[in-house]
Each structure stands twice: as C-alpha cells, then as structure tokens.
Amino acid sequence: MTRPLLVGSDIDGTLITSTERVSRRTRDCLRRFTDSGGVLALATGRPPRWLLPVLEQLPVQPMAVCANGAVLYDSATDRIVDTHPLFPDQLRAIVDTARTVLADAGGVNIAIERAGTSAFNPQSELFIVAPDWAHAWHSADFGEEEEEELLSRPAIKLLLQNAELDSADMHRRLVPHIPPDTAHLTYSVSGGLLEVAAPGITKASGLRAIARSLGIPAERVICFGDMPNDTEMLRWAGTGVAMGNAVRQLRDIADETTLTNDDDGLATVLERWF
C-alpha cells in the first residue's frame, strides 16, 4: 500500500486498550500522521455520547462514524452531520420476523437508539428500552416505553436481545430471514445481542462518505478493526487490518493481521510511514 491519507479505526478492541486508554505510542503515532496532513476518522458502534472519554485522549477531534454507520458526527463542533434511520414499518417488520424465527429460543427483547442533535442530549432521550429489556449493567440513565410506542418513531439502531443464544447464533439464524435489502444485521459483542441498521448502512458506508468528501480514493484508506461489525470497512478500504485479538472471521478477510490492541497493533502498522 502507498502512504495512507485516511485512517478509519474502530474504538473498542482496536484503538483503545483493554483498560480503555489510547496508549502513548498510538497517540504519538496518530499525531505524526495528522501533522503530516492525514485524516483520522473513528468508526464505531458507539453513539456520539460514548465518544467523549476517547476523544479527550486523541491529538485531534475527528469525524466519527457512529452506530455502525447510521450517524456521521463531527466531534470538533458537536454536530450530527447525517443520519440513516430505520422507520417504524421497518422496525416492526424486523421485530416480528425475529420473534417468529427465534420463538423456540425465547424470542427477542428490544431497545432502540435515537440520534438526537448533540452528544450532550440526555441519554434517557436517546437510549430507549422496552419494559422486558435485561440491562447488561446497572444504570438508571435510559428511557423506557411500551413496545408500540418504542417502535412508532424512527431509530438509528435497533437492538435485539436473546438470553439463550450468543450473538453469532442469533446472526446465523436471522440473516436468511432478514435480507440485506431489509436491514443490515451485525454484532460487536458475543452475549446474545444483535445491532440492526438501515439497509446498506455500515461503517464502510460512513467512511466512504468521508473519503468522498475529501477526494480520497479507497486505495489510500487503511482501516483497523476486531469484530464482525468491522467486516465491510476492512473489505472496502485499500488496506484492511485485523487486530491480533480480532475474531477469526475478520482475520480471514483482512489484508493483514497486526498485534493486539494491548500491544499497540494500530501503531505498529502506521509506523511504517509515520
């Protein structure tokens, strides 16, 4: 690969360590990259409000592809640049299909993410759960609505939860019944949680929009990731790099595999040029 002009990086398991820090080596490398005129873009399943602890560790305030591509966020100005929501009829159809397909395994519980206008909007207005949602950690900072109300307005992400299956099993069972022209299904954790976006909306679609706005061809883009929701961006980029801690399916499709996120894998690759 020639010297990259755009770096697209996942956050968890990629840019940050297992203690949620951007290492000094990675930070210094990214500073050299951006000082040379390169552009850093984050590409994450996180919503904008979860970026702040990461942004304060970076040498620049980058554009961020959030919610797996459904939100384009300018962290320098705290502005939601673009959104790609699922609409009520789509939400209802996906939930009904998931309930039918997974009926023998307990069906699904649901929650949704909404975009808002700022990373500082109250979380209770942006993360809304149905009454039977099982929280992964204790928190009072969420909204709760009955299912019909929950699905009555557009959402940037639909979350499908199942206590009996892991995420890979859910994905394998549902993909044949929810094709790509209906929605995009992916996951970033193993514990029975699928993340659903509008058709064609992935981290790759968000990064493609950023690259196009800057006149940067895909061949001059390098992307780093570790989980299945990074698949499309690693395939799209001129060079797709899987972390040493990445799931097998991502390492299988990547152009190369680097060291783990705790061993400065991202910096190890970028230091070839910077």
Q: Tell me the pLDDT tens digit for each residue of 151-169.
A: 999 999 999 999 999 999 9
**Least-confidence region, from 18-22, 80-84, 87-91, 186-190:** 186-190
Q: With contact defined as beta carbons under 8 Å apart, do 195 and 187 qualify?
A: yes
User: What is the CATH number that goes with domain 6-83+201-270?
Assistant: 3.40.50.1000
Confidence (pLDDT) at 2 = 86
Question: pLDDT band at 135, cuts 50/70/90?
Answer: confident
Place of tokens 């061993």: 263
Confidence (pLDDT) at 139 = 60
Q: How far apart are CA 145 and CA 165, in angstroms?
A: 25
Q: Which helix (H) or strand (E) holds 91?
A: helix 88-101
3-state secondary structure 115-150: CCCCCCCCHHHHEEECCCCCCCCCCCCCEECCHHHH
Q: How far apart are CA 202 and CA 43, in angstroms?
A: 9
Average pLDDT over residues 168-188: 97
Average pLDDT over residues 16-33: 98
Q: How far apart are CA 187 and CA 10, in angstroms?
A: 13
- Count of Cβ atoms closer than 10 Å to residue 68 Cβ: 29
Over the stretch 98-121, which tens digit does the pLDDT of each residue have? 999 999 999 999 999 999 999 999
Domain boundaries, the chain: 6-83+201-270, 88-197
The burial of 37, by beta-carbon neighbours within 10 Å (0-12 exposed, 13-18 middle, 19 or more buried), is given as exposed
Helix, coil or strand: residue 98:
helix
For residue 241 the two structure tokens come to 């790099």
pLDDT > 70 in the chain, percent: 98
Confidence (pLDDT) at 43 = 98
Question: pLDDT band at 70, cuts 50/70/90?
Answer: very high
Over the stretch 215-273, which tens digit does the pLDDT of each residue have? 999 999 999 999 999 999 999 999 999 999 999 999 999 999 999 999 999 999 999 99
- Mean pLDDT, the chain, rounded, equals 96
| Backbone torsion region of residue 246, taken as left when φ is above 0, otherwise alpha when ψ lies between -120 and 50, otherwise beta | beta
Q: What are phi and psi of 258, to 5 degrees?
A: -105, -165
Q: What are phi and psi of 45, to 5 degrees?
A: -80, -15
E strands present in 156-253: 157-161, 184-186, 193-197, 221-225, 239-242
The pTM assigned to this predicted structure is 0.95
Around 152, how many Cα atoms within 13 Å sit in the side-chain half-sphere?
7
Per-residue burial over 91-107, b = 16 or more CB atoms within 10 Å of its CB, e = otherwise? beebbebbeebbeeeeb
For residue 137 the two structure tokens come to 């950690």
pLDDT of 137 higher than 90: no
Over the stretch 51-65, which tens digit does the pLDDT of each residue have? 999 999 999 999 999
Confidence (pLDDT) at 141 = 80
Confidence (pLDDT) at 25 = 98
* 88-197 classified as CATH 3.40.50.300: no
Confidence (pLDDT) at 1 = 73
The amino acid occupying position 221 is V
Place of tokens 């209906």: 182
pLDDT > 90 in the chain, percent: 96
Place of tokens 């699904």: 108
Question: pLDDT band at 140, cuts 50/70/90?
Answer: low
Over the stretch 37-49, which tens digit does the pLDDT of each residue have? 999 999 999 999 9
pLDDT of 191 higher than 80: yes
Around 257, how many Cα atoms within 13 Å sit in the side-chain half-sphere?
13
Q: How far apart are CA 88 and CA 254, in angstroms?
A: 35
Average pLDDT over residues 7-11: 98
Q: With contact defined as beta carbons under 8 Å apart, do 19 and 218 qualify?
A: no
